[in-house]
Amino acid sequence: MAFLMKSMISNQVKNLGFGGGSEENKEEGGTSDPAAAHGMTREEYEEYQKQMIEEKMERDAAFTQKKAERACLRVHLREKYRLPKSEMDENQIQMAGDDVDLPEDLRKMVDEDQEEEEDKDSILGQIQNLQNMDLDTIKEKAQATFTEIKQTAEQKCCVM
């Protein structure tokens, strides 16, 4: 196994153009068969190649799914804050097969935010908000507004 890893690493280094594979070519006699170069039989090498391709496809699919989920989140935030749409995000969602939803954790966070906003927008939410305000502050604001209106009226009306 260690020989296989050493062989694979030296082949990668050789493919990068750093040399490093010259001693191995001397050992193996310069064979052009990739299975023999990796110290495997033909069937083992083909199975190894298949496995590598399958793993790469799985990683690519997972990466595409994550990109689409992020794009879905951005689309959701753009809708929420009324920002312009992005064609790039819509394309990423389509590439993933339009079968993309927000991840479960983000879905819960979004739902909680929506509930909080709905509560604030309701009449009960406004009443609770009034309860949280300081009554002295409300009285001062009302008195200041009343005084301001009275002064404006006195300036415009000569009879008063």
Tens digits of residue pLDDT in 86-123: 899 888 888 887 677 777 777 788 778 777 777 666 66
DSSP for 96-156, please give it: TTS-----HHHHHHHHHHHHHHHHHHSHHHHHHHHHHS-HHHHHHHHHHHHHHHHHHHHHH
- The percent of residues above 90 in pLDDT, for the chain, comes to 11
Q: For all residues of the chain together, what is the average pLDDT?
A: 76
Q: How far is CA 73 from the centre of its chain?
A: 7
Exposed/middle/buried for residue 72 (C-beta within 10 Å: 0-12, 13-18, 19+): buried
Q: What's the alpha-carbon Rg for the chain, to the nearest Å? A: 35
pLDDT of amino acid 91 = 87
CA distance 156 to 144: 19
pLDDT of amino acid 15 = 56
What would the two tokens of residue 141 be?
């604001």
pLDDT of amino acid 155 = 80
Helix (H) or strand (E) holding 18: none
pLDDT of amino acid 11 = 60
Q: What CA–CA distances, in Å, run from 92 to 53, 73, 74, 125, 154?
A: 23, 12, 11, 38, 64
pLDDT of amino acid 77 = 83
CA distance 51 to 57: 10
**pLDDT(143) > 50:** yes
Tell me the mean pLDDT in the region 28-52: 81
Please calculate the CA angle 49-55-59 and round it to the nearest 5 degrees. Answer: 145
